[in-house]
Amino acid sequence: MSSGKRPEHLAPPEIFYNDTEARKYTSNSRMIDIQVQMTERAVELLCLPDDQPSLLLDLGCGSGLSGSVLEENGHVWVGMDISQAMLDVAVEREVEGDLLLSDLGQGVPFRAGMFDGAVSVSALQWLCNCDQKSHNPVKRLSKFFTLLYTSLSRCARAVFQFYPESPHQVELVTTQATKAGFYGGLIIDYPNSTKAKKYFLVLMTGQNMALPKALGTENQDDSTVKYGNSRMTYKQMRGKPLKKSRDWIIEKKERRKRQGKEVRENSKFTGRRRCGKF
């Protein structure tokens, strides 16, 4: 297996994510961290009401890593995935969301207006492939977006983090989403970074509203690339407290308090780094 090949080129998702691959994916700390960060960003782009639980749809939910983030943010969720092995791991992990074995290319089988929003991490690009002779990417994307639009409440959003292979693929996806009735557009976080660049397709069912600003573009024009002598810190780039820092811990405690969970009071020792010596 060539490490340079994209997963969707190696096998259909239900075959690629077999029992071995599903467990490897769910136990890889680096993959978990990336999944959590991208889901948190997707939730942020949903612009949901504060301190109010929403019913969300997780498209391509896999083993429930994204769903766990939705739970932490106080939301209820339903997950769809085509890989039985991934869903089996999700059941073993005892995730709180309801799970459905389903092919996204066959649409979203839920009643109209059921969900307050939808998220998807690293799944959308799989619909652009022809894994079977009967598969037509245009028709599959059209059916998917049309039924997704129907299942969302009015003024809801759907946010897709995905890895487009080419500008043509971006055009293919956005064209079918627009034909289904969605407004919105593409947000590219850290557009000038090779490793940190992330694509988020933000779709809206209601009126067209201004898209949130992309991360990593604070000091740049939309049409030019500017360079500086000093490197930005991780906190400045992300716009969020550094993970495991005091600010991050306090922020997480406050979120858990709002969810009615019991947390320890802050003290001068909260977030203090340990030297590692005894």
Would you give per-residue pLDDT tens digits along the chain (278 residues)? 334 577 666 666 666 666 777 787 777 888 889 899 999 999 999 999 888 899 999 999 998 999 999 999 999 999 999 999 999 999 998 999 999 999 999 899 999 999 999 999 999 988 887 666 667 889 999 999 999 999 999 889 999 999 988 899 999 999 999 999 999 999 999 999 888 899 999 999 987 788 889 998 876 554 323 333 344 444 444 455 566 677 778 877 877 777 777 888 888 777 776 655 54
Same domain, 77 and 140: yes
Asked whether residue 217 is domain-assigned, the answer is no
CATH of the domain at 203: 3.40.50.150
Asked whether residue 220 is domain-assigned, the answer is no
Asked whether residue 251 is domain-assigned, the answer is yes
Q: Please name the amino acid found at residue 164.
A: P
Same domain, 31 and 99: yes
- Residue 27: which domain range? 7-207
Same domain, 203 and 243: no
Q: From start to end of the chain, where are the E strands?
A: 55-59, 76-81, 98-101, 115-121, 152-162, 183-189, 198-204
Write down the pLDDT at residue 236. Answer: 45
Please tell me the distance from the alpha carbon of residue 41 to that of residue 153, in angstroms, as a whole number: 21
Q: Is the pTM of this model over 0.85?
A: no
Which residues are bridge partners to 56 per DSSP? 77, 117
Asked whether residue 227 is domain-assigned, the answer is no
Query: What is the b/e burial string over 38-62, where b = at least 16 CB atoms within 10 angstroms of the residue's CB?
Result: bbbbbbbbbebeeeeebebbbbbbb
Q: How many domains does the chain have?
A: 2
Measure the CA dihedral 176/180/182/184, to 10°.
10
Same domain, 105 and 241: no
Same domain, 150 and 266: no
Asked whether residue 215 is domain-assigned, the answer is no
Asked whether residue 218 is domain-assigned, the answer is no
Please tell me the distance from the alpha carbon of residue 99 to that of residue 63, in angstroms, as a whole number: 10
Which residues are bridge partners to 94 per DSSP? none
Please tell me the distance from the alpha carbon of residue 233 to that of residue 262, in angstroms, as a whole number: 33
Asked whether residue 95 is domain-assigned, the answer is yes
Write down the pLDDT at residue 133. Answer: 64
Burial environment of residue 170 by CB neighbours within 10 A (0 to 12, 13 to 18, 19 or more): middle
What are the CA-CA distances from residue 269 to residues 199, 249, 251 (Å)?
38, 11, 15
